Chains A and B, each alone.
Chain A
Amino acid sequence: MTSDDPKSAPESRTQSGPSLAEKTHEVEAVKASLLDPAREEALARQRQRGKKTARERVACLVDKFDEYGALVTTASGTPSDAPTDGVITGVGTIDGRGVAVVAQDFSVFGGSIGHIGGQKILRMVKHCLQSGIPLILLLDGGGHRIQDGQDSWHYASGGSLMHDMVRLSGWVPVVTAILGDGFAAGTNFAGLSDFVIMVRGLSTMGLAGPSLVKAATGEEVTKEDLGGAAAQVDRHGLAHAGVQTEDEALELIRRYLSYLPSNARAAPARGPCTDPPDRRCESFATLVPADSRKPYDVRRVIHDLADAQSILEIQPTFAANAVTAFARMNGRSVGFVANQPLNLGGILNSAACEKIAHFVALCDAYGLPLIYLIDVPGFYIGSAAEKTMLGRRSAKMLHELGQATVPRISLVLRKGYGLGYFAMAGGRGFEADVSLAWPTAEICAMSIEGSVDVAYRKDYQAAQDPTMRRQELIDGIRDRITPLRAAGGFGVDDVIDPADTRRYLNDALARAPARRANSMPPKWRSIPPI
């Protein structure tokens, strides 16, 4: 053996103690003990429930995963006592772009967050702040580990996790998949996430689970009724998507991120486009019924306008009276906002306002131009509407659009009534890059019959034939709300052949600057109405 032969080094001992190879081997053995094959007994319950393990989820979701903090231990313990302290964290890639991942491990203390596990999560949040990469949370299990949390020594300082998650908002996409029980902390994280996915029949979430709810309030309710997907996705809109399987959830995360840049200052994702940008949409000639009381499905309009197979509808089952969807136009990510006549006549109620306001803010954060398809008969009215504070939720829709600096295009398909017309970026209200109308457009302050019944009741009731006189008044107004009249007053830039809409939109998008100046007085911040 010679001293300059590197291959001989592992065999030589220049000092007492283990060699590099032996030390490396010891570390590798500890790391191997943390992997799934070494933990079959601990993972048995997860598998019995048909659930993926945390490591399987990470492996399905990202490529090239580098784990940070695999070797953590509790102060007194060894790594095997609480492997990874119940949470797997690290960085990987999706479609070649970096992402940070946090995956709770339900097999360790029910996925609850211990002291050092909490530090690992905080580290990833800070890493995303620093590096500008999306944060993905795969949640499955408890919130604070009760054993650790019931101790003021730790709990009083709290830590900056919530504040740092707020700092992340609008900087990088934050996506959460609830892949088991997500009560308490899981729901707190979800509340600060841009996009939350649940698996129907598997996922639950809420501020507290049934046992704490019963102990604290006496209410008896099942986990599924309290916080399953039917409640939290479809009825409450707390989560944005309900899928059938964990694989679908992981695939949806990848798909969602594909529309967005890595961070607010990064170049937006842009794909190639094989769908001609000037393709004529002949189906539109017969799409909108002549009788304005009859509905049609506005998703068909979005489907034909957008690049083929490029649509991802956000929250399709919540506030179905409005449609919010990512799509691509000539390869560029955009956000469609549309009234849906099929549901509640396309009226804007509080749920629709919340859904649209959140979507507009998201698109503005990440540079997605907004395309508004307008067919709105107004906002919901009556006691049921007032109970939901619609006066402020409608203002929220205006508030988010008013903050936005991304391009916005408005197209009136049919009705553009009242405040709804403004909230949907109609006319000059929010300086649309281009304001368009179809020949079926009717733009005015309120429903025609409604206005006649409010302002001209005495007039027609005094007439010889009130019914005829009322109809006369209605017809008179109808003559004054044609799209030609809207164009005559320059409220719209053009009235277009519906079949040309895709070309118009793509041309407008190509011309529009990525961001515009949005002159605001020198305030510190705006105050959301709610």
Chain B
Amino acid sequence: MPNRNVRAEMGGTVIEIVCHAGAAVNEGDILLILEAMKIEMSVTSPVAGRVREMPVAADDVVEEDQLLAVIEY
């Protein structure tokens, strides 16, 4: 099955994981919430599928372009 990588559009802190590895998701579902510059940014799934991997956890500091999730679809 093909995979889509979801990467951080900017650096920040992971404040909440909403969908964990293994969860089924629809296109547009919120996967996790990042915070940077005092704004919460929802990271959403680009496709409908299943969260194959989520290599980050709450409180992790991530860099721009860092891999946040892999969606199998």
Residues of A within 8 A of B (CB): 292-295, 341, 343-347, 349, 377-378, 380-382, 384, 447-450
Q: How many residues of B contact A (CB 8 A)?
A: 14
Q: Which among B9, B39, B63 has the greatest number of chain A C-beta atoms within 10 A?
A: B39
Query: Is A377 touching B35 in the complex (CB atoms < 8 A)?
Result: no
| Cβ of A506 to closest chain B Cβ, rounded Å | 31
Query: Is B64 touching A341 in the complex (CB atoms < 8 A)?
Result: no
CB contact list, B37-60 vs A, under 8 A: 37-42
Interface of B, secondary structure class, is loop
Q: Which chain A positions have C-beta within 8 A of B36?
A: 345, 347
Query: Is B40 touching A294 in the complex (CB atoms < 8 A)?
Result: yes
Query: Is A384 touching B39 in the complex (CB atoms < 8 A)?
Result: no
Q: Which chain A positions have C-beta within 8 A of B11?
A: 382, 384
Contact status of A344 and B41, CB under 8 A, knowing A293-B35, A382-B11, A384-B10: yes
| Cβ of B62 to closest chain A Cβ, rounded Å | 11
Query: Is B63 touching A377 in the complex (CB atoms < 8 A)?
Result: no
- For A379, the closest partner residue in chain B by CB is B37
Contact status of A345 and B41, CB under 8 A, knowing A380-B10, A384-B11: yes
Query: Is A449 touching B38 in the complex (CB atoms < 8 A)?
Result: yes
Contact status of A345 and B37, CB under 8 A, knowing A380-B10, A384-B10, A384-B11: yes
Query: How far is it, in angstroms, between the C-alpha of A294 and the C-alpha of B42 when the chains are bound?
Result: 10
Query: Is A293 touching B37 in the complex (CB atoms < 8 A)?
Result: no
Q: Which chain A positions have C-beta within 8 A of B37?
A: 345, 347, 377-378, 381, 447, 450
Q: Count of A-B contacts with CB under 8 A?
A: 48
Query: What are 26 of the A-B contact pairs (CB < 8 Å)?
Result: A292-B38, A293-B40, A294-B40, A295-B39, A295-B40, A295-B41, A343-B41, A344-B9, A344-B10, A344-B39, A344-B41, A345-B36, A345-B37, A345-B38, A345-B39, A347-B10, A349-B10, A377-B38, A378-B37, A380-B10, A381-B37, A382-B64, A384-B11, A384-B63, A448-B38, A449-B38
Query: Is A293 touching B38 in the complex (CB atoms < 8 A)?
Result: yes
Q: Which chain B positions have C-beta within 8 A of A448?
A: 38
| Cβ of A16 to closest chain B Cβ, rounded Å | 77
Query: How far is it, in angstroms, between the C-alpha of A294 and the C-alpha of B39 when the chains are bound?
Result: 7
| Cβ of B61 to closest chain A Cβ, rounded Å | 11
Q: Which chain B positions have C-beta within 8 A of A449?
A: 38
| Cβ of A235 to closest chain B Cβ, rounded Å | 12
Query: Is A346 touching B39 in the complex (CB atoms < 8 A)?
Result: yes
Q: Which chain B positions have C-beta within 8 A of A447?
A: 37-38
Q: Which chain B positions have C-beta within 8 A of A295?
A: 39-42
Add 8 more A-B contacts to A384-B63, A384-B64 (CB < 8 A): A292-B38, A344-B10, A345-B39, A346-B39, A347-B10, A347-B39, A381-B37, A447-B37
Query: How far is it, in angstroms, between the C-alpha of A341 and the C-alpha of B37 when the chains are bound?
Result: 12
- For B9, the closest partner residue in chain A by CB is A344
| Cβ of B59 to closest chain A Cβ, rounded Å | 17
Q: Which chain B positions have C-beta within 8 A of A345?
A: 36-41
| Cβ of A343 to closest chain B Cβ, rounded Å | 8
- The 8 A-B residue pairs whose C-beta atoms are closest, nearest first, are A345-B39, A384-B64, A377-B37, A293-B40, A447-B38, A344-B10, A377-B39, A345-B41
| Cβ of A419 to closest chain B Cβ, rounded Å | 14
Q: Which chain A positions have C-beta within 8 A of B38?
A: 292-293, 345, 377, 447-450
Contact status of A341 and B10, CB under 8 A, knowing A384-B63, A384-B64: no
Q: Which chain B positions have C-beta within 8 A of A343?
A: 9, 41
Q: Which chain A positions have C-beta within 8 A of B39?
A: 293, 295, 341, 344-347, 377
| Cβ of B21 to closest chain A Cβ, rounded Å | 25
- For A292, the closest partner residue in chain B by CB is B38
Query: How far is it, in angstroms, between the C-alpha of A349 and the C-alpha of B35 when the chains are bound?
Result: 16
Query: How far is it, in angstroms, between the C-alpha of A41 and the C-alpha of B15 when the chains are bound?
Result: 63
| Cβ of B13 to closest chain A Cβ, rounded Å | 12
Query: How far is it, in angstroms, between the C-alpha of A382 and the C-alpha of B63 when the chains are bound?
Result: 10
Q: Which chain A positions have C-beta within 8 A of B65?
A: 384
Q: Which chain B positions have C-beta within 8 A of A349?
A: 10
| Cβ of A510 to closest chain B Cβ, rounded Å | 36
Query: How far is it, in angstroms, between the C-alpha of A344 and the C-alpha of B11 when the chains are bound?
Result: 10
Query: How far is it, in angstroms, between the C-alpha of A382 and the C-alpha of B36 when the chains are bound?
Result: 11
Query: How far is it, in angstroms, between the C-alpha of A477 and the C-alpha of B25 when the chains are bound?
Result: 41
Query: How far is it, in angstroms, between the C-alpha of A450 and the C-alpha of B41 when the chains are bound?
Result: 18
Q: Which chain B positions have C-beta within 8 A of A346?
A: 39
- For A349, the closest partner residue in chain B by CB is B10
Query: How far is it, in angstroms, between the C-alpha of A294 and the C-alpha of B35 when the chains are bound?
Result: 10
Query: How far is it, in angstroms, between the C-alpha of A188 and the C-alpha of B23 when the chains are bound?
Result: 47
